[in-house]
Amino acid sequence: MAVTNGEIAAIFDQLADLLEVEGEENPFRIRAYRNAARVIRGLDRNLAQMVAKREDLEALPRIGHELAAKIREIVETGRLRTLERHRRAVPRGLAELLRVPGLGPKRIQRLREQLGIENLRDLEKAAREGRLQKLSGFGAKTEQNILREIEALDRRTRRFLRAEVEEMAEALRSYLAKQAGVDEVVVAGSYRRWKETVGDLDILVTAAPNSAVSDAFIAHEAVERVLSHGDTRASVVLRHTGLQVDLRVVPQQSFGAALHYFTGSRAHNIALRRMAREQGLKINEYGIFRGDRRLGGETEEAIYRQFGMPWITPELREDRGELQAALAGELPELITLEDLKGDLHCHTTATDGSASLDEMADAARALGHQYLAITDHSHHLTVAHGQNAEAVARQIEAIDAWNARHRGFRLLKGVEVDILDDGRLDLPDQTLARLDIVVAAIHSEFGLSRTKQTQRLLRAMDNPKVHIIAHPTGRLIGRRPAYDLDIDRVLAHAAGIGVALEINSQPERLDLNDELARAAIEQGVLLAISSDAHSTAQLGLLRHGAAQARRGWVEAANVINSRSWTRLRKLLRSR
Ligand code: DGT
Ligand code: CA
Ligand code: CA
């Protein structure tokens, strides 16, 4: 099996950690690996395939000559010698210490030299014995904080972006499906519910009794450690990423019941079990029963049918009212990826994208889109080489020329304009007036007070040229919390004046998230599901946004880019 993008990203993150503990002098080197890991996690192209086809890796954002060579090495040999060298130089537990907030490489060095601390357990012991506070620069308060952080770390096991484990999940699925005696293989759990992050993978297999599928599972080449192993279940930890995978093998006749149980969520299962009890039924992973009589269990439909409910799609199974809606025959008709007629947010080489306007257009057309809005950055965002009014004017001409040469697909003239700290926009109104679509976004001053940040966003929305607010909360999953915002006011305002809010499909953003998307549509806010693609491949990320929308009970009518260009144009002009 080829290495997955998620594994390559994990390797670069580990290398960055090790360099940091070693006290690497050059911060750019560390950042280069971290940035590469981030880009690779968000990539919708398989790096191993790109290497096999000898494609140019350096065309990818943030990947230079040296990183491209390292990626090839990992793909071709399954390992990275540099990482192994640094691993030998740095004791394993030492890098772990970096996960403790407030402990930088310098402090870790001191702990090691003066107290012989080599890992988290050493550190915990030293803190409990009061030895830390005797070190200069530590003190009793720091010692207490460190203890608290260690406890928090124990509770908060690492979660993975769903998107970054997708390749591995699919590889394991097809591997298991090929084993003798195996019928069905489904990756259940939070993965099947399309949660933005997953704690582990739960794979359910139906197989003939005494099949050797669980042996085959633990023998898979990506398995690093076997936590437990029997005929009907096994748990493993995977190489590079440390991702845990649980396997369950059940007979065909229990497939539906087991699938329902292991899909969860736990809250959904508990709510359904309570309903069952009230009706004198019993439900578990083997089936649904009245007394000793088994009423069903082969399919999920059969289980819901016992309650007089239609099948509930996994994205809704969070005990957020889906059971009541199903009973009342009021489940939403959820949006699907196919409902999306075009994409309203992407970048080209004019700013920080890696593909030209022509390439982006071709790729969007190949996906079956009817239109694609080109929304490069405005100049305030200097890190992305944002465009000033003249550059936007040139791009407008280029898009007009493209549209004049092509039929059956339309490029929309757009921009992702920066919202300045006082809520003004970064381009003059007369420039914005020449565009088909204006996407506005906050990229700076994340630390403003709630009042100021809210006013800033409301003021930007009040500009009648603005159609969409991109990634409205600014959160980056696992990296940066949302900025402080009175989101209810923002939703009410958006509904009132007809500004759409984005569901950004970048796996690290998914912003609005599922719950906010639902709150938005309940208030009558229109949404845009956008890829924010920075390369042709990233246009495919739209499916992650569509899945979040489904988790937020969103229907096609709530989403502006489920409309044809003719209808969308009317809507945009009515602002
Ligand atoms: P995760 O892995 O944290 O992203 O979330 P899940 O939902 O995949 O949870 P996980 O892996 O612990 O368990 C998979 C499914 O198994 C879960 O969604 C529902 C079911 N399950 C596990 N433990 C329990 C339990 O104690 N009670 C009930 N009712 N269901 C459970
Ligand atoms: Ca799970
Ligand atoms: Ca699990």
DSSP 156-207: S---EEHHHHHHHHHHHHHHHHTSTTEEEEEE-HHHHTT-SEESSEEEEEEE
**What's the CA gap between 98 and 141, in Å, rounded?**
19
Ligand 1 lined by 262 (C-beta under 6 Å): yes
**What's the CA gap between 234 and 245, in Å, rounded?**
8
Is residue 83 helix, strand or coil? Answer: helix
Backbone angles phi and psi of 342, in degrees to 5:
-170, 180
Could you say which ligand is closest to the alpha carbon of residue 233? 3
Strands 197-198 and 160-161: antiparallel
pTM of structure: 0.87
Residue 94 has a pLDDT of 81
**What's the CA gap between 152 and 147, in Å, rounded?**
9
Strands 342-343 and 293-296: unpaired
Residue 500 has a pLDDT of 98
**What's the CA gap between 387 and 216, in Å, rounded?**
55
**What's the CA gap between 85 and 573, in Å, rounded?**
60
Ligand 1 lined by 198 (C-beta under 6 Å): yes
Distances, alpha carbon 223 to alpha carbons 12, 202, 212, 231, in Å? 19, 15, 17, 17
Query: Residue 228 in contact with residue 236, Cβ under 8 Å?
Result: no
- Which residue positions in the chain have pLDDT lower than 70? 154-157
Residue among 248, 266, 275 to mutate when testing ligand 1 (max atoms within 8 A of CB):
266
**What's the CA gap between 396 and 392, in Å, rounded?**
6
Q: Is 160-249 CATH 3.30.460.10? A: yes
Ligand 1 lined by 190 (C-beta under 6 Å): yes
Centre of ligand 3 from the C-alpha of residue 246, in Å: 6
Centre of ligand 1 from the C-alpha of residue 269, in Å: 9
Residue 154 has a pLDDT of 65
Centre of ligand 2 from the C-alpha of residue 235, in Å: 12
Query: Residue 247 in contact with residue 205, Cβ under 8 Å?
Result: yes
Ligand 1 lined by 244 (C-beta under 6 Å): no
Ligand 1 lined by 232 (C-beta under 6 Å): no
Could you say which ligand is closest to the alpha carbon of residue 245? 3
**What's the CA gap between 428 and 425, in Å, rounded?**
7
**What's the CA gap between 369 and 213, in Å, rounded?**
41
DSSP state for residue 447 in the 8-state scheme: T
Is residue 469 helix, strand or coil? Answer: strand
In 10 A of CB 422, how many CB atoms? Answer: 12
Ligand 1 lined by 200 (C-beta under 6 Å): yes
Query: Residue 500 in contact with residue 528, Cβ under 8 Å?
Result: yes
Amino acid identity, residue 337?
A: L
Could you say which ligand is closest to the alpha carbon of residue 195? 1
Domains 5-153 and 337-573 share a fold: no
Ligand 1 lined by 270 (C-beta under 6 Å): yes
Ligand 1 lined by 266 (C-beta under 6 Å): yes
Residue 157 has a pLDDT of 66
**What's the CA gap between 378 and 440, in Å, rounded?**
10
Q: H helices within 372-528, ranges in order?
A: 389-405, 429-432, 450-462, 487-497, 514-522
Amino acid identity, residue 333?
A: E
Instruction: For 375-385, write each residue's pLDDT tens digit.
Output: 999 998 888 88
Distances, alpha carbon 188 to alpha carbons 233, 277, 526, in Å? 14, 25, 31
**What's the CA gap between 35 and 490, in Å, rounded?**
32
Residue among 190, 203, 284 to mutate when testing ligand 1 (max atoms within 8 A of CB):
190
Could you say which ligand is closest to the alpha carbon of residue 158? 1
Angle of helix 5-22 relative to helix 65-77, nearest 10 degrees, comes to 120
Query: Residue 168 in contact with residue 238, Cβ under 8 Å?
Result: yes
**254-327 is classed in which CATH architecture?**
2-Layer Sandwich (3.30)
Nearest CA to ligand 1 atom 20: 262
Which of 173, 183, 179, 185 lies closest to 252 in space, CA to CA?
Answer: 183
For residue 229, what are its two tokens?
Answer: 């192993």
Which CATH number applies to 5-153: 3.40.50.460, 1.10.3470.10, 1.10.150.110, 3.40.50.300?
A: 1.10.150.110
For residue 330, what are its two tokens?
Answer: 């009021």
Ligand 1 lined by 269 (C-beta under 6 Å): yes
Which of 318, 333, 313, 332 lies closest to 259 in space, CA to CA?
Answer: 313
Q: DSSP per residue over 477-494, as a string?
A: TTTBPPPP--HHHHHHHH
Q: Which CATH superfamily is domain 337-573 in?
A: Metal-dependent hydrolases (3.20.20.140)
Could you say which ligand is closest to the alpha carbon of residue 264? 1
Residue ranges covered by each domain of the chain: 5-153, 160-249, 254-327, 337-573
Helix (H) or strand (E) holding 21: helix 5-22
List residues bridging with 377 in a β-sheet: 416
Which of 154, 191, 16, 39 lies closest to 90 in space, CA to CA?
Answer: 16
Centre of ligand 2 from the C-alpha of residue 521, in Å: 29
Centre of ligand 2 from the C-alpha of residue 160, in Å: 11
Centre of ligand 2 from the C-alpha of residue 561, in Å: 32
Half-sphere exposure at residue 410, Cβ-oriented, CA atoms within 13 angstroms: 15
In 10 A of CB 357, how many CB atoms? Answer: 21
Ligand 1 lined by 202 (C-beta under 6 Å): yes
Ligand 1 lined by 319 (C-beta under 6 Å): no
Centre of ligand 2 from the C-alpha of residue 278, in Å: 28
Angle of helix 514-522 relative to helix 487-497, nearest 10 degrees, comes to 50
Using the structure block, give the residue that is written with the tokens 């508990």.
Answer: 270
